[in-house]
Chains A and B, each alone.
Chain A
Amino acid sequence: MGNSVIVRRLGLLAVLALCVVLLALVPHLPSYYVRVVDSILIYIILAVGLNLVVGYAGLLDLGFIAFYAVGAYAYALLASGQFDIHLPFIVILFIGAAAGAIAGVLLGFPVLKLRGDYLAIVTLSFGEIIRIAINNADDLTNGPQGIAGLDRASLFGLPLTTPVHFYWLLLVLAITVCGGVYYMERSILGKAWRALREDQDVVRGLGINTTTLKLLAFALSAAIGGAGGVIFGAFQRFVSPESFTFQESLLVVLIIIIGGVGNIVGVIAGAVVLVVLPEVLHFAAQYRLLIYGVVLVTVIVLRPGGLVSPRFNLGFIIRKVRTLWLSPSKT
């Protein structure tokens, strides 16, 4: 008995150590791979943010990328030669998140009485309107050419220029966002969102203001999207409306569904699969998209509930670790 506990604890330690070592090894990979990992982390942040709305509150938002665009353009306008404003990165990070949240509330306020597909199409329209407006407001955003030559970012005196720098930043941010959302998921707020997803009339009957709940989900997820956009802008040092198409919104939704709705572990898995898959398929040249689509449909048809089972979530892993460590006899 005692022996097996030690073995299991060692096994657990080994798994945790392996994760840490893998994450620590990433910066030593060739630059291309670091960029792919960066991109995975950005999509994890976005998808965890959108998951608040789609996965927890059960509202389909097809225009999420608009908030990402708001963040990216916040960086582009406040840290470039466009208006010769050069604010520090960290300030813009908060401005971008706030601007995202405000946009989220502005969108959410009038449309949240709509249900289901009507909400989906209105958010979609909103995303398109933002993109077209960016495309045409030449004086402000430089139109389709986009804004190039954004400032090199730095954080507390540390430069943020190479993919490796962004890897560390994104890793910290992704862990923070996942942790924060996990905390929220377990709070009374998270429970209220889930109830909202199951039956909004009952939630209203219990005396909870559903509009406030929905607005909160919208604002928080939009803030995360905005912050992600700021980092994207600082990373690319170039923004143009092309990065914020309807297809991008759909990609984020796709990550959530492929991984497993309302499950942070699932979202991480989904982001890894959907970012890595097109990279792996580079060998297939012009057949790349075709194979990508076929794989997508096959995965959905074979595992309609997502790749990761709803039981295998962050809470499950934490419980497992805790029981094994504190009271191993119960496992």
Chain B
Amino acid sequence: MPALILFTLFMVAVLLESTILDYARVAGVKVDLVLVLVVFHAIVRGPREGALWGFIGGIAQDILTGSYIGLNALVKMLTGYCVGLGESTFYKDSTVIVAGITWLATIFAGIVTYVLLLTLGLFISPADAVARVILPLSVYNLAVALLFYRRFYVWETRGFLAPR
């Protein structure tokens, strides 16, 4: 049951990203809700779960994007795995620490995306990638993490996402 709820949560996040969240752009970017959820989940549940849900959320984004199917899946899977590796060392109860990790994870995901696109033959100037996407997005995701992590943590530990 928690898995089904989590799946619904990810699908709603993808739907919001492709519709309503476009009206909430700040500095030209919209929040990457799927990445934020992957980071939250990986911090609480570890690398295996982080990678799995990173893949699920990412592939859903890829299907709606239409280009480079697998790009978001790979990036989010890697990010989820890497964040999850710190599961036992991070202080999960601290919203500020998790927000900081979200910020770093967004930068990591941005760099991996950039390198993969380069490998696939799409050149974007590094300055544009950093200034127009990676940095503003990392700050936006950090802000969203500060606002919503506490609630998610309660869901994951004592609420409807807690293991039965």
Partners in one complex: no
Instruction: Please list the residues of chain B having a beta carbon within 8 angstroms of any beta carbon in chain A.
Output: none
Instruction: Please list the residues of chain A having a beta carbon within 8 angstroms of any beta carbon in chain B.
Output: none
